[in-house]
Amino acid sequence: MDYAGLFPPASLDLPTALREYADHRRDQEAWMLGHFICPEGRLTDILPFGGLFPAESPLSLSLLPGPGESAVERVGRSVASFAEFASRFGGTAGLAVLELRLSSDAPELSDLRGAAREGAGTEVFVEWSPHLTDIERRLRLVRDVRIQGDGNLGAKIRCGGTESSAFPSVHDVARFIRLCATLDIPFKATAGLHHPVRHDRDGFTMHGFLNVFGAAVLARHGMEDQEALESIIAERDPAAFRLTDGGFAWRSHSVTAAQVTSARQMAFAYGSCSFSEPLEDLEAAGWFGFCTSDTP
């Protein structure tokens, strides 16, 4: 889980979000915590908080490049902004990921390739609306860039937001995952995935992170049927999912632990504005070793 405390619905102020992230880095479950998601324009605001991030617990950043016409220029500007920030930051910091939201205009292969090369040394995830009818053609461009040697380029899907229109359909999410598996593209998810299983909350039907990443694991290892993947994304019964030392299963479909591990090459991470809420849900369900003394 990448930490997105700055963003809705949490919308924490920067000092509070940084302190929460620093505290979570020392949690017993810190192995589940990824990067701190931050807009490029907020980097200078982080400078006074270097003391929160000593060498043994550094600040690991996922930057959101600012606006611009060219993906190449946006990525290049973010890399330069981070370099200047790092030279002034009192603690330790690293740039691990760049998350680049693109317009609905069709991209050029050269622009995507240039963005990947400008971001060399980081993972660069490009995002389009999953509603787009030509999403397959766009993802094929990502695949082509990777084939040509820029393997740091991946795709990103937005699974929710503050309006109903921001939530992609079950069909759109399943299609995105199926295409990423078929084209061998790593992906990152964000927004709306605060809880493990699909559910209704605050007037929205929200996707579950267990649905999304369970579907990704099964798609990575042979489940190519769109309808089957849609059924996983639409699943609302927590008991339909099982994870043991031997592997993962959804209903009658199962994969080994080694296959789950290899699927991480595709299913990279997801952003959540809370680190605590997903853990509390996992503990309440007794999943993944988060078992209380009252849970068998």
Delimit the domains of the chain by residue range: 2-236+266-285
Strand partners, 157: 189
Q: Residue 288 — pLDDT band, cuts 50, 70, 90?
A: low
Q: Residue 294 — pLDDT band, cuts 50, 70, 90?
A: very low
Q: Which pLDDT belongs to residue 211?
A: 97
Q: Residue 290 — pLDDT band, cuts 50, 70, 90?
A: very low
- The CA-atom distances, in angstroms, between 16 and each of 26, 52, 221, 250 are 16, 12, 41, 38
Nearest-angstrom CA–CA distance, 115 and 126: 9
Structural fold of domain 2-236+266-285: TIM Barrel (3.20.20)
Above 90 in pLDDT, residue 241? Answer: yes
If you average pLDDT over residues 270-277, what whole number do you get? 94
Q: Cβ neighbours of residue 202 under 8 Å, at least 6 residues apart?
A: none
Closest CA to 273 of 198, 157, 190, 184: 190
Percent of the chain with pLDDT over 70: 97
If you average pLDDT over residues 235-247, what whole number do you get? 91
If you average pLDDT over residues 104-127, what whole number do you get? 94
Rounded mean pLDDT of the chain? 93
DSSP single-letter state for residue 167: S
Q: What is the pLDDT of residues 51-91, one digit of tens each?
A: 999 998 999 999 999 998 899 999 999 999 999 999 999 88
Query: Can you say whether residue 151 is alpha, beta or left, with left for phi > 0 and alpha for psi between -120 and 50 degrees?
Result: alpha
If you average pLDDT over residues 155-178, what whole number do you get? 94
Q: What is the pLDDT of residues 29-52, one digit of tens each?
A: 899 999 999 999 999 999 999 999
- The CA-atom distances, in angstroms, between 210 and each of 128, 206, 266, 284, 289 are 22, 12, 15, 15, 15
Q: Which pLDDT belongs to residue 289?
A: 53
Above 70 in pLDDT, residue 255? Answer: yes
Above 90 in pLDDT, residue 105? Answer: no
Q: Which pLDDT belongs to residue 296?
A: 35
Above 70 in pLDDT, residue 162? Answer: yes
Q: Residue 164 — pLDDT band, cuts 50, 70, 90?
A: confident
If you average pLDDT over residues 136-144, what whole number do you get? 97
